[in-house]
Amino acid sequence: DIQMTQSPSSLSASVGDRVTITCRASQGIRGSLAWYQQKPGKAPKLLLYTASRLESGVPSRFSGSGSGTDYTLTISSLQPEDFATYYCQQYYDTPPYTFGQGTKLEIK
Amino acid sequence: QVTLRESGPALVKPTQTLTLTCTFSGFSLTTSGMCVNWIRQPPGKALEWLARIDWDDDKYYSTSLKTRLTISKDTSKNQVVLTMTNMDPVDTATYYCARTVAGNIHWFDPWGQGTLVTVSS
């Protein structure tokens, strides 16, 4: 199975900050990566797919990039509603699908 | 509008078999490409994909759990059922179902709201 290593596991930031979360795959996944946001007690919400394509309705302050094994999620200017946990998911040569361990974004 | 909803017991005893049902609307599992997946999340921990069933009845399972899992579908009821045998306290988790589309859309969208299953004697 492809392993996904996400970093950092937690992050403290302030409203207005620019933050970046990284996801590294154990082998190349050719952009087959999605990002999700999860708030406490809720199901994950799709943010981006194919590494950089923004899901409809997701604010443009969210962006994704990467290739090969290394991918990033960037939030350009944190808003109060962005404090949540973020997960990456690979879907290259699937199944099985695998997720990163999550990054908890907290208010500083 | 595509929606999914999970249902099943909130509490199971160790060694018992868990049966969960995903009832969906807005699509049919008779339509080419449609797939339904199960994903779980222990409290405070990461997401873990469990299984997928496709419109053509192909089935896929987690490498680590495949000996304990069975996924099936009832297209007349728009339902997908997951069974997990020999439940253990470490299987305590919120269980979600979510749709993917074979060949095109391997990201999970949408998700059900999840159902919390606690394994305890």
For position A93, what pLDDT does the model report? 77
Q: Say if the Cβ atoms of B46 and A100 lie within 8 Å.
A: yes
In this complex, do A46 and B108 lie within 8 Å of one another by their Cβ atoms?
A: yes
Cα angle B62-B94-A21, degrees, rounded to a multiple of 5: 75
Q: In chain A, pLDDT over 90 holds for what percent of residues?
A: 95
Across the interface, do A44 and B47 touch by the CB < 8 Å criterion?
A: yes
Report the pLDDT averaged over residues B61-72: 97
Q: Which residue has the higher pLDDT, B47 or A95?
A: B47
Using CB atoms, pick whichever of B52, B60, B112 lies closest to residue A43.
Answer: B112
The whole-number average pLDDT for the span B89-99 is: 98
User: Residues B65, B35, A3, B92: is their CA dihedral positive or negative?
Assistant: negative
**What is d(CA A34, CA A67) in angstroms, rounded to the nearest whole number?**
13
pLDDT tens digits, A39-76: 999 999 999 999 999 999 999 999 999 999 999 999 99
What's the pLDDT at A94? 76
**Chain A: closest CA distance from residue B102 (Å):** 10
Alpha helices in B1-121 (DSSP H): none
Average pLDDT, chain B: 97
Number of H-type helices and E-type strands within chain B: 0, 10
